[in-house]
Structure 1
């Protein structure tokens, strides 16, 4: 038996698994992936649209005022897409995982706030603007 005044028997801080309640999921402690998970309500795929990194997205109109069901990230996408932007560029500007951006774009497409142009098959990709958009998006990351 170890004597009670032994340093090995000092009081240890409470282990995270032993904590109860919500005190273990506050602010930065929740980790970098909790917030995107909450933004998408746990969804990992868009409800509509494929949204490759080179898919071009543009807002159909100006940023709506008080649009019900849209979070601040949705509104940020609409602001950014006032001019045509690739999914890669959006991901870089928003500093969010690409899967999260795809889900948010699917929401906006469903509600009619954005339109998209899927990339053409590889054999037909001769437009230099598309390559430039991808390069600009990768630089933004």
Structure 2
């Protein structure tokens, strides 16, 4: 059962769930204008918002008071990753969020890293 938070207002209903289709949040856009990876860290800049950002934009700003990845932000917003990327991209363009690409000591496809991940998963499962 989905429970509506106090600040969700008319966007969520306890029995019906989300009342607004996810792509309505992004005005039908499916591609972000900023280059964002799932592991990109975003942080609110603290600049005041101009205009009237949507509820998801406002929630994203609150969640990004401390650094958070795009993937985690999408999960916390309850939005598909593609829609969350568009929301984050909007906020980056307006200067309300700062996006920092992930940095790796090794390339993500480094065979040694992949073997280590495989071995750790086997050990834990």
TM range (shorter): 0.5 to 0.7
Structure 1 unmatched runs, 5+: 1-26, 126-141
Alignment counterpart, residue 38 of structure 1, candidates 24, 27, 31: 24
Greater strand content: 2
- For the pair 1:82 / 2:68, whether they are aligned, the reply is no
Cα pair distance change 1:35/1:122, threshold 3 Å: farther
- When normalised by structure 1's length, the TM-score is 0.58
Cα pair distance change 1:116/1:41, threshold 3 Å: same
Aligned length: 94
Q: Distance in 1 between matches of 2:22 and 2:106?
A: 35
What are the superposed Cα offsets for residues 11-67 of structure 1, whole Å, 9 maximum, x if unpaired? Answer: xxxxxxxxxxxxxxxx99xx97x621111111111122x2211110000006x46x4
| Cα shift at 1:120 | 2.4
Alignment counterpart, residue 40 of structure 2, candidates 55, 63, 73: 55
Q: Distance in 1 between matches of 2:99 and 2:107?
A: 18
RMSD: 2.6
Alignment counterpart, residue 115 of structure 1, candidates 98, 106, 118: 98
SS in structure 2 at match of 1:123:
coil
Rg larger for: 1
Q: Distance in 2 between matches of 1:61 and 1:124?
A: 33
Structure 2 unmatched runs, 5+: 1-11, 109-125
- When normalised by structure 2's length, the TM-score is 0.65
